[in-house]
Structure 1
Amino acid sequence: MTTTTITTIILLLTIGVSQHQLVKSSTIKNCCDVATGDNYFCIDRNISGIYKITDFCQRGKKMLGYCDTLTDGGGWLVVQRRQDGTEDFNRVWWEYEMGFGKLTGEFWYGLRALHCLTGQGGWEMRMDIKLANGTKVFFHYEQFKVASAKDKYKLIVGGFQGTTTDPMAYHNGADFTTEDNDNDNHLTNCALLHGPAAPAGGWWHNSCWTANPNNFYNHSIGIHLNNKWYQIIFTEIKIRPLQCGYSYY
């Protein structure tokens, strides 16, 4: 990943982020530096927010990221958030590659960044979701990896634990699909399944999904759990290294 690419991601994700919105003493190697649990001496402990990350992909690159320091021990880099429908997730391929939105609100961190990070060592992933009926569920995966652009950012996900049935098993091994780059197994483009009025958005579509946090906001078929479809009103997808909380102190 080039310096130009990193800079572009920063610009796409941080429009509207002023200095006072950064966490105090915010320069860290990665979100593991602000994990809780066994890390007694970590800086800015228990403060979730935007940090300057200096060890991006272990290449000395710098960029901003939103760290969740509280959930399940902390140390999570948030890579997707939906909360009010203000951000349009019906984006083309290059936008999903580079990332879009605002770290202070709704955003997608970018496929290139996801590949760059998860291509090194083992990573875990967690999805925190709130359904339209008020129910909160989570899905934790001990394995999470995004392949390169050459491999259409194929998803590898496994090792499930959670509060309901596994909604991502159906997507394991799927390539990423957007409205202008159809790589799914459906006869039509899953990213455009509901038409121009309510497009389904870019995702690791199979034919098409059992979970789609990037779907048109609050759509009636956002996620399939226990043989029933539900609407999603909030999601956060977050990742961290498997050794997070143990390798720095």
Structure 2
Amino acid sequence: MTTTTITTIILLLAIGILPLSSGQKTNIGLINNCCDLGYGRFTFSRKTKLSGIYDIPNVCRDDHLEAEAYCDTINGGGGWLVVQRRQDGSENFNRTWVEYEDGFGKLTGEFWYGLRALHCLTGQGGWEMRMDIKLADGTKVFLHYEQFKVASAKDKYKLTIGGFHGTTTDPMAYRDHNEMEFATKDTKSLSQYNCALNSGPSIPHGGWWFNKKCWSVNPNNFYKQYWGVYLKSNWHTLPFVEIKIRPVQCNI
């Protein structure tokens, strides 16, 4: 399981909670999505910490997305599907367009969920996003967006994001990433040059929703690159970042 790619799995991991060992699952069984852990026989609380691996079939009416999922039941009330994680620089994020479409990474390590799946889940709207960050000095912050939507491949997976609140300033707004198209090292973005490669292959910036000034936050940047996120008038590295989504109607 530790070598399975995100093409066939959904991986979710809560900050501060150790992942289950390889092959280990909870005994709760089949659920429809991580929100199911918030009511009925799946009731949880911050104290029970029922984060773990669950079977989540037909997550968006696409057979290739039938998968196991690691649900975050702790942060922001729980019910989250984690769709990206950086924690140690072990994964290569200098990937092609196709790889960012399909997703890549390891179950217990760093990964990118996949643009095709992100659109499949959020393309009709009604989803929110949370980004949990730990800075180099150990400070933990979160960014919460009440609106998160990824368009189709035809529209280059354009991002719609808004309704911010959190424990710091909004880096997605500083160099406005809203309504931006996704770009990778082998595609062009709206910038004057390809932001995914603007420092050359030795310092790859990975795929992201770049604008004309590139970015004010890029979780897929070269690991621990100084220009990881712009918060409160300063740039910071991103030793740890995790992006997660859930339906806005999630009953938590």
TM range (shorter): 0.7 to 0.9
Q: Aligned pair in 2 of structure 1 residues 8, 69: CA closer, same or farther (>3 Å)?
A: closer
Q: How far has the Cα of 1:115 moved from its partner?
A: 0.2
Alignment-mate amino acid for residue 193 of structure 1: N
1: CA distance, partners of 2:72 / 2:10: 20
Q: Give the match for residue 200 of structure 1.
A: 205
Q: Secondary structure at the match of 2:149?
A: strand
Correspondence 1:233 to 2:233: no
2: CA distance, partners of 1:201 / 1:188: 14
TM-score (norm 2): 0.86
Cα contact 2:51–2:73 (8 A) shared by 1:
yes
Alpha-carbon displacement from aligned partner over 1:78-136 (angstroms, at most 9, x marks no partner)? 00011000000000000000000012111000000000000234000000001112111
Correspondence 1:10 to 2:8: yes
2: CA distance, partners of 1:23 / 1:184: 44
Cα contact 1:12–1:100 (8 A) shared by 2:
no
Unaligned runs of 5+ in 1: 1-6
Alignment-mate amino acid for residue 182 of structure 1: K
Aligned identity (percent) is 61
Q: Secondary structure at the match of 1:112?
A: helix
1: CA distance, partners of 2:35 / 2:98: 29
Between 74-83 and 176-185, report the one with greater CA deviation. 176-185
Cα contact 2:145–2:161 (8 A) shared by 1:
yes
Q: Aligned pair in 2 of structure 1 residues 233, 8: CA closer, same or farther (>3 Å)?
A: closer
Between 205-214 and 53-62, report the one with greater CA deviation. 53-62
Correspondence 1:189 to 2:194: yes
Q: Give the match for residue 62 of structure 1.
A: 66
Q: Aligned pair in 2 of structure 1 residues 85, 177: CA closer, same or farther (>3 Å)?
A: same
2: CA distance, partners of 1:105 / 1:143: 27
Q: How far has the Cα of 1:8 moved from its partner?
A: 7.7
Note the aligned Cα RMSD (angstroms): 2.3
Q: How far has the Cα of 1:40 moved from its partner?
A: 5.7
Correspondence 1:215 to 2:218: no
Q: Secondary structure at the match of 1:28?
A: coil
Unaligned runs of 5+ in 2: 13-19
Alignment-mate amino acid for residue 194 of structure 1: S
Cα contact 2:101–2:115 (8 A) shared by 1:
yes
Q: Give the match for residue 249 of structure 2.
A: 243
Alpha-carbon displacement from aligned partner over 1:151-203 (angstroms, at most 9, x marks no partner)? 00000000000111111121101000100011232x22100122111111100
Alignment-mate amino acid for residue 201 of structure 1: G
The aligned length equals 234
Q: Aligned pair in 2 of structure 1 residues 58, 244: CA closer, same or farther (>3 Å)?
A: farther
The 5 Å alignment of 1:100-179 reads 100-169=104-173, 170-179=176-185
Q: How far has the Cα of 1:48 moved from its partner?
A: 1.6
Q: Aligned pair in 2 of structure 1 residues 228, 76: CA closer, same or farther (>3 Å)?
A: same
Q: 2:230 aligns with which of 206, 224, 227?
A: 224
Q: Aligned pair in 2 of structure 1 residues 92, 59: CA closer, same or farther (>3 Å)?
A: closer
1: CA distance, partners of 2:210 / 2:197: 11
1: CA distance, partners of 2:94 / 2:224: 14
Between 61-70 and 223-232, report the one with greater CA deviation. 61-70
Cα contact 1:78–1:236 (8 A) shared by 2:
yes
Cα contact 1:12–1:102 (8 A) shared by 2:
no
Q: Secondary structure at the match of 1:150?
A: helix
Runs of 4+ in 1 over 4 A off after TM superposition: 11-14, 58-61
Alpha-carbon displacement from aligned partner over 1:30-60 (angstroms, at most 9, x marks no partner)? 111123xxx2631676322322211411567
TM-score (norm 1): 0.87
- 1 or 2, which has the higher strand percentage? 1
